[in-house]
Structure 1
Amino acid sequence: MWAPRNSGRLRHICPEGPKVMTKSLHAQNARKPSANRVSPVESRGFRDRLRRVASAESLSKSLVVAAVIGGALLAGAPACSSSDKSSGAPTPACDSSKCAAGNTCLTYQGETKCRKTCASNSDPSSSCPFNYTCVPGEDGGEAFCRKDTSTNGAGAELAKGTGQWGASCLPMGGLAENPACDSAQGFQCYGVATTDADAYCTKYDCAQDSDCGAGFYCAAINASPNVESDERVVGETVRACLRRDYCAPCTADFDCGQGQHCVGDADGAGFCTNECSQGKNCPSDAVCADIGIGPKVCFPRAQRCVGDGSLCSPCRSDADCGEDGACVQGPYTTERSCAKKSTITCTLTTDLNGKPIQKQGVNLGCPALPGDLQGQVGVGCRGRKADDSTGLSRIGVASVPADYCTGMYAFGTDYNVGCWSRQTK
């Protein structure tokens, strides 16, 4: 598009500017009555004179338009500038003094606005309203209440009611339609056995932590056992919102339950843990340790809550143990560790409580224990019971599959499934 010269540079013209102005001039001229109305004539010479007059008039109008445009540009009129209303006015900066009480200007995901501050997800005096979770501020900023993304199952915002996050439920009531849970809004009964006394209401099929309520996180869990079935299907996992108990992932203390701390493992990953004064205050696979945060806390003997998926590696579900692994738990411990598929068909031991069957010269088809466990625990491999079509050796909350190698730690005069657990006296 042509524009007049100005200091050797071309000036930008709004693309639609000339068209609008020309149209306006045409519209004005169209409304003007003709001063000398001419009757139609057949004379060819007279028609030629009319064409010449019309051509001169058109040229005159074009010059007027060009003069108007050029004059506006030379006068410095704005063209598509930020002062033009069509480009939008600048957004005013957030002013904390104008926020509601308990709110301040904070940035989250690139947006700065007034946000409610918080310091807990469990203390009512410093936690967030329903459907909000207290999360750390960006770049070390103040913690604030983040809107949860959990819905009522129909895409609408979740309404507060009974039978929701953490409400107790009885396994006999079933999973999806448990009467103790708000099934109308998608809450189900979560438990790890048909006799689980700690079963509670929560939501399944989450995709991220924000799909869960305050104090919960989105986790991969074994699909079974559950409150409806004790059968075990290796490798089948689902996602559900779980309480942030011991060893749950975290980024700050207020992610965890009341009285807990978020500490880093040997790899720097945060996990929730409890304060302690002695080993008896901790799970059997942890020690009471001073890690430099003030109070002593329970710290896993494995140095982490989730490992690399090898034999005896700590885990939360089968998803942490690889394609040939299963996350198992013995009957007398809360420890979960990876069992690995044996390369042979194992023979069932006579003692279902777990005396180790690894003996000198006996090939169990099992991988070697990690170096720091050798000499500390044994390795066992269980076979299929003759009358058990499921292929499960029913020991522990998360039944150990047949032909899988597990760690076996000393428990009284016998041995139990586990790798890092120890009896505390």
Structure 2
Amino acid sequence: MEQKLLVEKLVAGGVSLARNDDGKVIFLTGGYPGELIRARRLNTKRDFELWEPVEILKESPFRRRKLCGSFPSCGGCDWQDLEYQEQLKWKKIIVEEQFRRIAKIEVVIPDVVPSREKHYRNKMEYVAFHSSGELNLGLKRKASDRPVQLDGCVLGNVPFEDLRKRFQRLLNEHSVKPYNTKTKTGNLKHVILRKSSRDEIMAILITKKSEFLELRPIEKRIKSEIPQVNSLIHVHNSRDDVNLRGPYRVLYGEPVLTEEIDGILYQIPPTSFFQVNTWIARKILHYVSGVLSERKHSNLLDLFSGVGLFSLYLAESFESVLAVENSAVSVKAFESNARINQLENVRVLKENVASFLKKAHGKYDVVFIDPPRSGVGKPITMITRLKPSILVYISCNPTTLARDISYLMRSGFRIEDIRAFDMFPQTHHLETIVILKHPLSL
């Protein structure tokens, strides 16, 4: 079934919105505002019609040449062939629309802070799969678990695409078998590359089994033939629902990647989270630091602290800092990072954030919360008992952000400022910071 559709706008989730002849909303996997598209339906759901473009009958003036040979089938990018300023414009509109639709409030945010448009990611997770008779290292297709071969990817740091090809060639020469999630055969699941702004590169090989028979000769060749790789890690991950998790061992080099932001050092273990766009992470830190500099604060509570990005950077502005993090690996890294930065006013608890909030008491001047994409939900209202003067909410998902902010506002918090940062160019994703205050805590 095919139909001509006029794209009205871009919406949350990286899809486009159009309407059929009866005025019913239809979502498209591609297409930009103002474009006339011939499309075909992909699903049979009556309440959520998803269509894909077959032919562009009238192009947007903001459509440009794509930046790599794998777009649009590759799921790494959503809007790669849309002019960058238009990407920023629509990200701003989507954030404002999510607050209007979900939180039932009108907000106007400043223009989205732009990033370097290409080669901004300090981490790339390549999935291993079998294609054309050999092992390939690629990314997953849009809205699919099926991988796609890469051709000139522009997301990863400059060396990554060349390193990906060299790893792919070397692994094939040793007849390494990729793991197949359906047949449960093979072993290699992912190859992950991480790079710091100090030009350290860590390569991580993830396997389904703890045994990796081909590893010894592969390790020797990587060390001698790919000298750009400073450390090589083997991770055993038997789970299929997550990529970067499980026990690991260092084959050579350092067991951590060291990042530096304005003189603060962060040692990042192979399986720990860190912001993928260091350049924008620095911009966010500068913004938040500026907000907090307006008055003196005694203590900081940092929820979902990770390895300490915010806690350590801001520690000197507080008498004391308490961080809460549930990952044992990240907690250990946090403690190490506090030591190497000689910060004695910082401590971290290994605990689930929701559990911590249920029993937390006392007053915290400033509370930071940087949850996963799923957000927090109703338990976020427990923060009210801590009487923070300032609450800083950092989110990579405008939908769950708007939901959580609505809960906080019902608890008496008021929005002081909202800023958006383009952490993920060429995609629909971004990072949004909301500054809130509670009148009873001032």
> Which TM-score applies when normalising by structure 2?
0.23
Return the structure number with greater relative CO, CA threshold 8 A, min gap 6: 2
- Of Structure 1 and Structure 2, which has the larger fraction of its residues in helix? 2
> Which TM-score applies when normalising by structure 1?
0.24
- Of Structure 1 and Structure 2, which has the larger fraction of its residues in strand? 2
